[in-house]
Structure 1
Amino acid sequence: MLLKTFGWSFAATAAGLALAGVLWGWQGLAIVGILSILEISLSFDNAVINAGILRKMNPFWQKIFLTLGILIAVFGMRLVFPVVIVAITAKLGPIEAVNLAINDKAQYEELVTSAHPAIAAFGGIFLLMIFLDFIFEERDYKWLSWIEKPMAKMGKLDTLSIIIALVALLVSAMTVATSVAHGGGDKSATVLLSGVAGLITYLVVAGISGYFEGKLEDEDEAAEEAAEARAAKGNGSAVGLAGKAAFFMFLYLEVIDASFSFDGVISAFAITNDIFMMALGLGIGAMYIRSLTVFLVRKGTLDDYVYLEHGAHYAIGALAVILLITIKYEIPEVVTGLVGVVLIALSFASSVVRNRREGSSGDASGEKPEVTSGV
C-alpha cells in the first residue's frame, strides 16, 4: 500500500536529486532537498483538505489528480506562475520574462518579491473563505466545541463569511498595505483589488463545484430507487452529471493547491532565485503532498481520525492570517510551517483520545459506542 501510493514520489525524489547533482553539484542537490522539505512542511494541511474532497471522487479522478494535477502543480504553479507574475507586474512579454528569470536572477527575484502584496491578498482571502465556511457550518463532530458551537449558530447567516472576509481585507488594506516591506510604498489599492479577486474566485469555483456535488447526490438517491428503469432506457445522464461534478471538484482542488503554493514559492526565494532549481525542489515536495492525499483517502484516515479536518482548517485560517500579515511584516518560514504541523498534530492526538474513549465506552457496555460531538 505504501509503495503503491508513494512509489511515484520516491521515484521523483531519486530522479530529481540525481538531476540536481548532475546540473548543480552537491550544493544544488542540498538546495533541492531543502526546498522539498520546505514544501512538505508548508503544505501538509493542504493534503488533509484535499483528502476531504478527493474521497468523494471515483478512482479515475483520483488518478487524474495524481497525473494531470501534478503537472499543473509542478509546471504551472512552481515554474510558470512566478514567470507570469513577473510578466504582469513588470509589463513584459512572456519571452522577456523567461529571459529575465534565466539571465538576470537578481532582478527576477526582486520583481517576484514586489508582487508579494497582491499574491498574499489573493491567497489570504481565498484561504480565509475556506476556513470561515468550515467553521460556520454545523457538523456532527466538534473539536473545539467552545468555539465551533457558537460559530455554527452564527453561520446560519449565509453571508457572514463573506462579510468577515471583506472586513479582514479592508483592515489589511488600511493597515499593513499602507507601507509594505516588499517593493515599498502604499499598496492599498493593489491589496484591495487582489483580495476581491481572491474572494470572487472562491465564490465562483466553490459555488459551481458545490452545485454539481449537490446535483450528484440527488442523482445518486434517485438511482437507488430507479436503477433498473434507467438501465432499460439506456439513460446516461447520471454518468454525465457525475463527470461534471468530478470535474468541478477537481478544479476546486487545483485552485486550493494554487493558493497553498503561494507562500511556498515566495518562501523559496529565501533559499534560491534559480527558477529551475526552485521548480524541481518544490515539485518533489508537491508530489509527496499529492501521494499523501491519496494515502489518506485510501486508508480512510479522515473517517478514523475525525478531528484531522478540523486541525487542517484551523491551520488554513492561521495561514490566511499569516499571508495578510506578511504584506508588511516578515514572518520566518519555520513559523508558518510549524503552526500547521502543530495544529494537525493536536487534532490527531485529540482524535486518538476520542477513539480510545469511545472504544472503552463500547467495550464496557457491550454495544457499539454512539457518535459524539467531541470536545
Structure 2
Amino acid sequence: MAALRVFGFSLLVTALALVAGYAHGGLNALFLLVALAVLEVSLSFDNAIINAAILRRLSRFWRQMFLTIGILIAVFGMRLAFPLLLVWATAGVDPVRAFDLALNPPPHGALEFPDGSPSYEKLLVSAHPQIAAFGGIFLLMLFLDFLVQDRDIKWLKWIEIPFARIGRLGQVSVAVAVVALVLVGTTLTHSGQERATVLTAGLLGLVTYLVVNGLSRAFRPPDLEAAAGGTVVAAGKAGLTLFIYLEVLDAAFSFDGVTGAFAITSDPIVIALGLGVVGSMFVRSITIYLVEQEALDRYVYLEHGAHWAIGALAVIMLLSIDPHLEIPEALTASVGVVFIGAALTWSVLRNRRIAKTA
C-alpha cells in the first residue's frame, strides 16, 4: 500500500505522458518515450539515493516543493529549455529557431540539411564537451567530498580509510578535481579553442559546486548532522539552500541523460516526456519511497554505493569529451546498478551479522 501511494501519481502521469506521446508521433514516438524513460531511471537511481539522503533532512514544506516546483524545473527547465539555451549559447541560434529545428529535423536522420546548415542534434552534440566538462567536474567534486570525509561507517575500507586521513589536509577534493580537469583538457581535446572551452566549462562546474555546497553548509542548522535518524529538519533559509542544492544536483545528473537521449531521438517533445515527465517523476517517487521506508538507515552502504557510482559516472563523462572514445550507453547505465547492487548486498549481509550477534 505504501508503494502504491508513493508511486500512484507517477503511474498516472506516465499514462498521461504515453497518451500525449502517441498523439504526438504515434507508435514510434511511444516506443522512443518508453526507451527514454527506462534510460533516465537506470541512469538516475544513484541520483535518487543521494536525493533521499538530503531530502530526509528537509521540512515537509520543502519536500513538497521538491515534488512540485522541482519537477517543473526538471521537466521544462533541464529537459526542454536547457538544450535550447545551450544551442543558443554555443551556436548563436536563438531558442525559438532551435525549437523549430528540433521539431523539423533533416530527412532520413541526417545531421545536416540539404543546404549544409547543421541540424539541432548536430548543434547540441557539438556542445557535448562543455556539458561533459561542467557536469563531470561537478559530480567528481561530489564524490571526492564524500570520499575524503571521515565517517563512522565505511564500506570499501581499504580505500575510504586512507582517503579520510588524506582529507584532514583540507581542500584535497579541489586539488584532485583541478588536476583531473587539466589532464582532461590537455589530453582529450584536439584544438586550442576546444581546450579553452573545456577548461572554462570545468572551472565553472567546480565554482558552481563550491558555491552551492558552501551555501548549504552556511545555512545548515548546527545540530542537523548530529541528529539521530534525521530528527532535526532544515526549514527557512536552510531548507531553501538544500532545495537549491537538490535542483543543481538534478541538473548535473541530467546532463548525461539529455545528451544520451540524442542517440535515441532528437524530438524535444519526446525527450521532455520520456526523460522529464516519466523518468523524473519515477526518480522522485523512488526518492520519497527511500525516505519514508528509512532505507538509508537500514541499508547503510547504499549511500556509499551511490557515491561510488557517481564517481564512475563523473569519470565516464570526462572521458566522453574525446569524440574518439565511444563509451556505450549500456556501460553508463549499468555502472550505477552494479555499485548500488553491491552496496545493497553488503548492507544485507551486515544486517544479518548484527542480528546473529544480537
Q: TM-score, normalised by structure 1?
A: 0.87
Show the counterpart of 1:102. 103
Q: Share of identical aligned residues, percent?
A: 53
Aligned length: 341
Please name the residue that 1:85 is paired with. 86
Shift of 1:49: 0.5
Pick the aligned partner of 2:202 from 195, 211, 232. 195
CA gap 1:287/1:218 in 2 versus in 1, 3 angstroms: closer
**Would the alpha carbon gap of residues 172 and 219 (structure 1) be closer, same or farther in structure 2, given more than 3 Å must change?**
closer
Are the equivalent residues in 1 in contact too, given 2:57–2:224 (CA < 8 A)? no
TM-superposed CA distance for 1:337, in Å, is: 0.8
Match of 1:144 among 139, 146, 156: 156
- Corresponding residue for 1:349? 345
207, 220, 229: which one aligns with 2:214: 207
Paired position in structure 1 for 2:321: 327
- Amino acid of the residue matched to residue 306 of structure 2? A
Q: Secondary structure at the match of 2:300?
A: coil
Task: Answer with 146-155 or 18-27: which moved more.
Answer: 18-27
Give 2:292's aligned residue: 298
The aligned residue for residue 281 of structure 1 is 274
Structure 1 distance, partners of 2:331, 2:14, is 25
- The offset of 1:89, in angstroms, is 0.8
Q: CA separation of 1:19/1:292 partners in 2, compared to 1, >3 Å: closer, same or farther?
A: same
Question: Which consecutive unaligned segments of at least 5 residues does structure 1 have?
Answer: 180-184, 225-237, 363-375
Aligned-partner Cα distance in 2 for 1:327–1:173: 9
CA distance, structure 1, for counterparts of residue 86 and residue 246 of structure 2: 21
* CA distance, structure 2, for counterparts of residue 201 and residue 23 of structure 1: 37
* RMSD of aligned alpha carbons: 2.0
Matched, 1:171 2:183: yes
Question: Contact 1:124–1:323 (CA<8 Å) still a contact in 2?
Answer: yes
User: Displacement, 1:25?
Assistant: 1.2
Distance of 1:285 and 1:327 partners within structure 2: 25
Matched, 1:33 2:34: yes
Contact 1:17 1:32 in 2 (8 A): yes
Look up the SS of the partner of 1:178 in the other structure: coil
Query: 1:308 Cα shift?
Result: 0.2
- Measure, in 1, the Cα distance between the counterparts of 2:252 and 2:341: 22
Letter in 2 for 1:155: G
Deviations 1:332-352 (A, max 9, x none): 111001011000000000000
Deviation at 1:178, TM superposition (A): 2.6
- The change in CA–CA distance for 1:22 and 1:268 in structure 2 (over 3 A counts) is same
Residue aligned with 1:156, SS: helix
TM-superposition CA deviations, 1:54-101 (whole Å, max 9, x none): 000112211111111011011100000100011111112232222222
Return the alpha-carbon distance in structure 2 between the equivalents of residues 217 and 309 of structure 1: 18
Deviation, structure 1 residue 215 = 4.4
1:302 and 1:308 in contact (8 A); partners too: yes
Deviates more, 1:250-259 or 1:185-194: 185-194
Query: 1:45, 1:344 within 8 Å by CA — same for their partners in 2?
Result: yes
Give the distance between the partners of 2:220 and 2:190, measured in 1 at CA. 41
TM-score of the aligned structures, taking structure 2 as reference length = 0.91
Shift, 1:216, TM fit: 6.4
Paired position in structure 1 for 2:243: 250
Mapped partners of 1:219, 1:171: distance in 2: 38
Give 1:158 deviation, angstroms.
1.4
1:359 aligns with 2:355: yes
TM-aligned CA deviation for residue 219 of structure 1 = 12
Q: Corresponding residue for 1:112?
A: 124
* Alignment map for 1:53-92 (pairs within 5 Å): 53-92=54-93
Contact 2:59–2:235 (8 Å) recurs in 1: no
